[in-house]
Structures are given as structure tokens and as C-alpha cells.
Structure 1
Amino acid sequence: MRIIAMIPARYNATRFPGKLMKDLGGEPVIVRTYKSALASKLFDNVYIVTDSEIIKDTINAVGGKVIMSKKDHNCGSDRIAEAVKELDIDIVVNVQGDEPFIDKNSLKMLLEAFTDDRNKQIDLASLKVQITERKQIENPNNVKVITDNNDFALYFSRSVIPYLRDNDAKVSYYKHKGVYAFRKDALIEFYKTPVTPLELSEKIECLRYLEIGKKIKMIETTHESIGIDTPEDLDKAIEFFNNTNE
């Protein structure tokens, strides 16, 4: 299989504009993410896909590969699909540009799901991590996922799912981590499909895949990544970087 990583990189992020160009240990966040993806040695190629000349110039300066996005997009999947539609590839991994500390083991598990999928039942694979604190479970910024007995996603929501009606019931809660591995044809079909009702309601792009009948394999990980959505998150990332590079 020919496997590539795509890192969607918007400059004007809604909650923290310009976050990908903020300094993290002497280099911009997006450069740290790009180099981490390369260092994993899991991909035949790694690309940044962006609508920003600033990000393009920054990645070019470190010898990276950039594909300029030609259109405005509502989500990362659409931006990636536009970029890969002419590429000869099998699997595309969406690496989040604002998560510079890539966990190689989690990505490896995602790719192994496709290697083991001899009948090609999996359209895409993604990660989940168990959460136990009530504050995290009830936080609408944490997308929750429930699965069937074979770990295929049944639904994603910002609400608390499953709802615990019986306090004696034993139930686990999982947060969806926005790292995806797609079969190219599933990604292109997603791109050609208009925004769906549940996706529009919850503002969760993977619901479009479920609504058009795609099967999403969820892989459990214990790794909690550091995503940079706010200035406070950047402070945490800087502290983590400093502690791990002393």
C-alpha cells in the first residue's frame, strides 16, 4: 500500500488565529508537526496542505512539500480530498497541524487496521481514548464516540453518549481524537457529498461518513495528545517541549 500523511494547515483558525505559526522551541508549531510526521518513518510522503502563503513559505524554507488548497473548505477532510484526488495513493492519514507531538504507536495501530483488513471492510480508521472525569465527559468540545462489538463507530456526539439512565450500569466513555486514516476512494466520495444533516447539527465531519454508509474502525489508544486550540494550550505545549528536551 502507498501511504501518505496530509497535514491540513489553515492560518486563520477561528479560536486561535495564527496558532500554527506560533513559536514552539524555536520553530513554528506547523514545522514541529511536519518534522514529527517525517520522523515517524511511517509514510511514503508527508505534505502540508494550506491556503496560506505564509505557511507555504515557512514549510518550503525547511525543504517540506506543500500543496496549496484552491478553495475554501469547511473541514480538513474536504481540504485533503481536493489535494489528493490526482495522487496515486491508497491510504491517506490526516495529521492535525496543531498537534506537534505525534505518537508513532497510535499512528502505527491505525495503519495496521488496514493491513489486517483483507476484505476491505474499513473505509477509514480513527482513534479514541477513554475519559473518566465528569467534566471531560460533559464538555461539548470533547467529541464522544460509541462503537459496536467490533469497534466500528455507531455515532459521534458533543452530547454525553451513552446516556446513563441506570446508575448501576457499567459504561465507559470515549473521546474521539481527530486523527484519521482514509482509503482514498472513501475520502473522495465524502468530498463529493454535500454537508449532511447530522454533520451540520453537531459540527462533526465524521458524521458525514456515517450518514453516507461508510464504516469507521475505532482504535483505542491511551496516548493523550496536546492539541493547540488556545493560548493556554500553547503554554502547555511549550512547557511539555521544554521538559522533554532538557
Structure 2
Amino acid sequence: MSTLVLIPARLGSTRLPRKALADIVGKPMVVRVAERAALADVGRVVVATDADEILHVVRNAGFEAVMTSVEHQSGSDRIHEALLAVDPNGDVETVINVQGDLPTIDPETIRLALKPFEEPSCDIATLAAEIRHDDERINPNVVKLVGSPIGPNRLHALYFTRATAPWGEGPHYHHIGLYAYRRASLERFVRLAPSVLERREKLEQLRALENGMRIDAEIVDTVPLGVDGPDDLARAREILGA
């Protein structure tokens, strides 16, 4: 499949102002993410942004970037606009959405996001990791994927929740918010209105499930570091400066 990696990056951030441009061992965070995506070697890498400053920084680092609207409410809307801008002829079959705050993500993790497409009926592919610490099971900021095993390292997603689920003995899975879309699935998804459970849980992926779309997840060993605040930024600097 022809694959495009899109990295949505906004300048605004409540907990960490100008997060996308935060310096990590001499390079802006968004550039670090683009480097990781390029190392995955799955296809063309483009940053989708709403800020001229990010656009210029990314291009000066040798990567592609495209401007998108400041009005988008979600990353999926932003990457859809970017897809239409950089591939107007429809050559790209698959899009990977890599969040712009994952500067230490393992390139192999990005590659694994495509594995669920081995199942032809899978519309959207994502990732999950088994929860190992009890405090994460009850933390509403840790999104859980509830799914049926369909292979040794794969789940068919039935639900996503901030609650501790499912009940009873057995593993719980931390959902990793990195998505791969078949082009037609992304185009369908962005046309859908926000759904009831999406609004209740504040989880956009529930919109797809509520409208009958299939999401499968590849199980990976660890959750990549997401930079949400100053402590995460310090940890990223430590990892990449080692």
C-alpha cells in the first residue's frame, strides 16, 4: 500500500506553551517526531500545522510541511485536509497519524501500526500495550481498549473507555493514540457527526465504532512517551541526550 505519514502539530498548548517547538537536545520537538517517522521508512512524511512558525522550522530541517486551518477541532480533521493538499490525485491508500508530541517513539512502533490491515475488513488500525501497573488501571487519563483477541498480538476493538474495563480476571490494555487509516475510512470518518459516547467519554475513536467501522489494534511492548507537560519534556531530553 502507498502510505503517507502525517504529523499534526499545533502551536497552542495549555499545559506546555509552544510545545511543538520545545527544544529537545538542540532540535524542536516536531522535528524530532519527523525524524522518528522518517526512520520508520513506511512512506512520505509530512507535518500538518496551523502555524507559519512551525511550517518554517520543519521545512528548514529538511522535512515537508503543509498549512491547515486553525478551525479544526481534531487531529483527524487536520490530517484529512493535509491529505487532500499533498495528494490531490488520490494516490495514497493509507495514512498514519503520528501525534506531534511523541519525540522518542520507536520507529518500529510506527511500522507496527500497519499490521492490522492484514485483515481486509479493518477500517482503522491502532496500537495498545498491556497495563502493568495497578494505578494506571484506575487512572481516567489512561484510555483503555476493550477488545477481543484475534491473534497472539492483535485485538479487535469493541470499546474505548477511561474507566477500568473489562471487569474480572485478565489483562487490561492501554490504548496508544496512533492511528492508521485506509483512505476511504478517513474520508468517511471526518464526514460523521460527533457521537453520543464520543461526547460522553471524550474519545473521538468511539465515533467510528458507533457508526459500525472496524478498529483493530496491534499489541506492542511499551507505551511511547507523550510530552504533555514539563516533566515529560525533561524525560524526553534525558532519553535523547543519553
User: Is contact 1:144-1:156 (8 Å) kept?
Assistant: yes
Aligned to 1:61: 60
User: Is contact 1:106-1:223 (8 Å) kept?
Assistant: no
Q: CA RMSD in A?
A: 1.3
Q: Compare 96-105 and 150-159 and name the one that shifted more.
A: 96-105
Equivalent pairs counted in the alignment come to 234
- Which aligned pairs between 1:115-194 and structure 2 lie closer than 5 A? 116-117=118-119, 120-150=120-150, 151-164=155-168, 170-194=169-193
Q: Deviations over 1:72-122 (max 9, x none)?
A: 1222111111221334210000111100122222222222332x23xx201
User: Is contact 2:113-2:178 (8 Å) kept?
Assistant: no
Measured in 2, the distance between the counterparts of 1:148 and 1:241 equals 36
- Which aligned pairs between 1:88-103 and structure 2 lie closer than 5 A? 88-103=91-106
User: Is contact 2:115-2:218 (8 Å) kept?
Assistant: no
Measured in 2, the distance between the counterparts of 1:149 and 1:39 equals 30
User: Is contact 2:98-2:178 (8 Å) kept?
Assistant: yes
Please state how far the C-alpha of 1:184 moved relative to its aligned partner: 0.7
Does 1:83 find its partner at 2:56? no
Aligned to 1:242: 241
Aligned to 2:13: 13
Measured in 1, the distance between the counterparts of 2:226 and 2:149 equals 29
User: Is contact 1:129-1:222 (8 Å) kept?
Assistant: yes
- Which aligned pairs between 1:106-117 and structure 2 lie closer than 5 A? 106-114=109-117, 116-117=118-119
User: Is contact 1:103-1:223 (8 Å) kept?
Assistant: no
Aligned to 2:212: 213
User: Is contact 1:81-1:187 (8 Å) kept?
Assistant: yes
Q: Letter of the aligned partner of 1:108 in structure 2?
A: R
User: Is contact 2:9-2:49 (8 Å) kept?
Assistant: yes
Aligned-pair identity (%): 35
User: Is contact 1:95-1:180 (8 Å) kept?
Assistant: yes
**Length-normalised TM-score, structure 1:** 0.91
Aligned to 1:233: 232
